[in-house]
Chain A
Amino acid sequence: MNAPQTSAFDFSRALKEAGLIAGAVVLLAIGLVGFRTVDVPGGIGLITRFDDVVAAAVLAFVGRLGIALLRANRPRPVLGVSLAFAIALTALLVHGALSETASAAQRLLPFASTVVNWVIAIVAWILAARAARLVWHAASDMSADDREARMDRLGARVQEWARFVGPVLLGIAIMLPFLPWTDRRLLDIGILVVTYIMLGWGLNIVVGLAGLLDLGYVAFYAVGAYSYALIAAHFDLGFWICLPLAGIMASFAGVLLGFPVLRLRGDYLAIVTLGFGEMVRIILINWYTFTKGPDGLSGIPRPSFFGLPFTRDPPEGVESFHSFFGLEYSSIDRIVFLYYVILALALVTNLFTLRIRKLPVGRAWEALREDETACRSLGVHPRNTKLTAFALGAMFGGIGGSFFATRQGFISPESFTFIESAIILAIVVLGGMGSQIGVVFAAILLIGLPEFFRDLNQYRMLAFGLAMVAIMVWRPRGLLAHREPTVRLSDHPPPSGGVQPAPRQ
């Protein structure tokens, strides 16, 4: 019924596949969705939601069949069904959103939750759009290699855009506190996102450039945070002196861990760093006399603006920020200041990484990632080179940690769990290993959007998971996995008269 290239479509096989998927959905959903505990007077009760399980299975069955049909180049039935379904569902949802009272039509919706229904509607629209594209443009027979090459070209183009997008993003970031719709919440999200961008850039040195899979990065974050809190508490030093000290302490921790560990490769290194991350957390919990254990450290001093604190009523003899500049006291000043501090720290991290990538040590990191044996045969000291990467990555983690401490004013081991390491690593991997601008996009995607949708609290992690799955399916090498050479021969014209420098001997 469609183009002649339609190959024989094995309907029974597609049915079997769809049935298998639906079966898997039933198995998964029966435990996760089918039963739900609810509070009832006098204890806990169990309600069953088997209708939802059935709905999920049917949706999975139809969706899978649709994908199989699309793959077999038969888009028309898919287009019809998915478009009708999408329109109906969207209409119902819009109707439900407009009318306050629950109408009979609402009962036609597949699930009780509006968010899940919207997700299904969006998926249906996407399926319809793909089918429509197949109907109007003849199917493109793109092989996986072609697609890979196209994605690499896309990455290259984005990398080119980065030259413009980067400054634009930076401009937006600098202007953010003064934009009319910026409120306290947006600024807080901004601070959080930029913190993760900085941590991502720091970890990018270790994972992206040197190729050392570090699953315990949060340990250095913790070392930085506790260094700042403890130094500030015991020696009465300010934020700006403690910041570099915390960075040094963290990089020292990195070297300390690195010495015995960096002879391991790949998965083994990952496991040991994972263990190290947990060790640091457990030490923080149990060394009560030093770290106050699970109680955490509070009263961490806030940063000052060249010695001007951001308080309403400064102590005797100290002028505060607002009175010095003759401003009305506003609690948001401090937030704006924190925002600029972390933005500056992140920019320093970025500039540092961009510069060091073009230095011999940066090239040696990348060479180590590519082939450690070859590096050794060329006289690159593998352990020292890895140690520098580890120490520098740790340093930025530590600086980020001390910022975290001063922002929160309170830290406890709970803030430094493995999930933090995983999120930072996810940002680096999703962004495309070694890509600086990719980290920015990934951080906005993974931290910013879920924060925005915090109202949908329980679906936040769902969105996180969806984003991860989507990227792994479509861009397994990361959003922007494209590498520009650090140096080009064309940038270095030959001295004079072609290639004739005599060999040095």
Chain B
Amino acid sequence: MSGARGSLLSVEHLTMRFGGLVAVDDLSFDAPAERITALIGPNGAGKTTVFNCLTGFYQPTAGRMTLRHPRRGDFLLERMEGYAIPAQAGVARTFQNIRLFPGMSVLENLLVAQHNALMRASGYTVGALLGIGHFGTAERRAVDHARYWIDRVGLIDRADADAGSLPYGAQRQLEIVRAMCTEPVLLCLDEPAAGLNARESAALNELLMFIRDEHKVTLLLIEHDMRVVMEISDHVVVLDYGCKISDGTPASVRNDPAVIRAYLGEDEDEAQEAPTQP
């Protein structure tokens, strides 16, 4: 994937209305391939709505979202059903409030993420029930794949424990690697650093950069924690009231007067520290 620069995801004129409320208004931006793009903005700016449109939870009112899969061709996400977006287009996501399968073990969580591959290997259940096919090897491979990611987040010792019994920070990381187990090309993270302490936040940054660099996955993240945003993102898109107000490198966005105004009102003196908010 050497020459695959350019953008992996192009959002054009995306609009989402809920009745009279315009949550996202004519938003266009690109997410460069194998880069980390951060989507920031004050509360209620429409960031999560963009995610929900991208991952098929909402049907956008208007607009086009093109995903250029490096191996499978182009997908128009607004035309796909919710479950097909991760399965076919390779878009995975995490949630603002963690959504693990709390009663299932860590390993099982990661195996559910490989559901579609395993279903094919099990001959849609019929084969595996009758003992035809090579479900055993496929399952072993899936477990190895899961083990790789469990090891990456240091949960090998807790692999058979219930996911719900893990500490908060570990649950956040587990949700991210669970999304990675679907083998995505675009990973959308909704506030991955929310509620993490400084050390966990640093570990998260490391994990995200590892995913970008080693697995060549494009990341799109919503984040309020400016330490995370400024440290790891390559590209920042700023939303306010559903509109894009700034778009560029972290440094340029940080000094954009429109951004400062959106976060702080008119007072520009406190621009540097204010956007940092847990």
Chain A residues within CB distance 8 Å of chain B = 352, 355-356, 359-361, 363-364, 366-367, 370-371, 373-382, 388, 483, 485-490, 492, 494-495, 499, 501, 503-505
Q: Please, what's the 1-or-0 string for B73-90, where 1 marks a CB less than 8 Å from any CB in chain A?
A: 000000000111111100
Check: B168 CB closer than 8 A to any chain A CB: no
B159 at the A interface (CB under 8 A): yes
A332 to B215, CA, bound (A): 69
Given contacts A356-B125, A378-B92, A489-B159, contact A505 B215 (CB under 8 A): yes
Asked whether A489 lies within 8 Å of B83 as measured between CB atoms, the reply is no
Does B111 reach chain A (CB closer than 8 Å)?
Answer: yes
In the complex with contacts A373-B95, A378-B115, A367-B101 CB distance below 8 A = yes
Q: Is the CB of A363 within 8 A of B160?
A: no
Contact residues in A for B56 (Cβ distance below 8 Å): 376
Given known A-B contacts A359-B129, A374-B95, A377-B55, A489 and B216 have beta carbons under 8 A apart: no
* CB-nearest residue of chain A to B105: A485
B120's closest neighbor in chain A, by CB? A360
Residues of A within 8 A of B215 (CB): 503, 505
Q: Which of B17-25, B175-183, B259-267 contacts A (4 or more CB under 8 A)?
A: B175-183
Instruction: Report the tally of A-B residue pairs with Cβ distances under 8 A.
Output: 143
A388 to B107, CA, bound (A): 24
| In the bound complex, CA of A382 to CA of B112 (Å) | 12
Contact indicator A503/B112 (Cβ below 8 Å): no
A505 B216 Cβ-Cβ under 8 A: yes
- Proximity string of chain B (91-124) to chain A, C-beta cutoff 8 Å, 1 when within and 0 when not: 0111100011111110111011101101100101
Nearest opposing residue in chain A for B117, CB measure:
A360
The answer to whether A492 and B140 have CB atoms under 8 Å apart is yes
Across the interface, name the chain A residue whose C-beta is closest to B114: A360
Q: Is the CB of A367 within 8 A of B82?
A: no
Most B Cβ at <10 Å: residue of A355, A370, A378: A378
Q: Are B107 and A374 in contact (CB under 8 A)?
A: no
Interface size class, chain B: 35 or more
* B160:A377 contact, CB within 8 angstroms: no
Instruction: Verify A377–B95 contact, CB threshold 8 A.
Output: yes
- Give, as a whole number of angstroms, the nearest-CB distance from A458 to chain B: 41
Of all chain B residues, the one with the shortest Cβ separation from A371 is B99
Is A374 touching B83 in the complex (CB atoms < 8 A)?
A: no
A492 to B116, CA, bound (A): 21
The reply to whether A495 and B144 contact each other, CB–CB distance below 8 Å, is yes
- Chain B, residues 37-65, CB within 8 Å of chain A (1/0): the string is 00000000000000000011100000000
Q: Are B115 and A379 in contact (CB under 8 A)?
A: yes
Complexed CA–CA distance, A363 and B83 (Å): 17
Residues of the A chain whose Cβ atoms lie less than 8 Å from the Cβ of B238: none
Cβ–Cβ < 8 Å partners of A382 in chain B: 83
Q: At the interface, yes or no: B231 with Cβ under 8 Å from chain A?
A: no
Contact among A375, A378, A488, A501 for B160, CB-based, below 8 A: A488
Q: What per-residue 1/0 map shows which CB atoms of B142-186 lie under 8 Å from chain A?
A: 011111101100001001100000000000000000110011000
Query: What chain B residues lie within 8 Å of A485 (beta carbons)?
Result: 104-105, 107-108, 160
Alpha-carbon gap, A352 to B129, bound state (A)? 8
**Which one of A355, A360, A375, A490 contacts B119 once the chains associate, using CB atoms below 8 Å?**
A360
B125 contacts A359, CB within 8 Å? yes
In the bound assembly, the distance between CA atoms of A463 and B103 in angstroms comes to 33
Say if the beta carbon of B273 comes within 8 Å of chain A.
no
Whether B270 is near chain A, meaning CB under 8 Å from some CB there, is no
- A356 vs B57: C-alpha distance when bound (angstroms): 29
Residues of A within 8 A of B101 (CB): 366-367, 370-371, 374
Cβ of B214 under 8 Å from chain A: yes
Is the beta-carbon distance between B148 and A501 smaller than 8 angstroms? yes
Give B102's nearest chain A residue, CB to CB.
A370
B113 and A499 form a contact (CB under 8 A): no
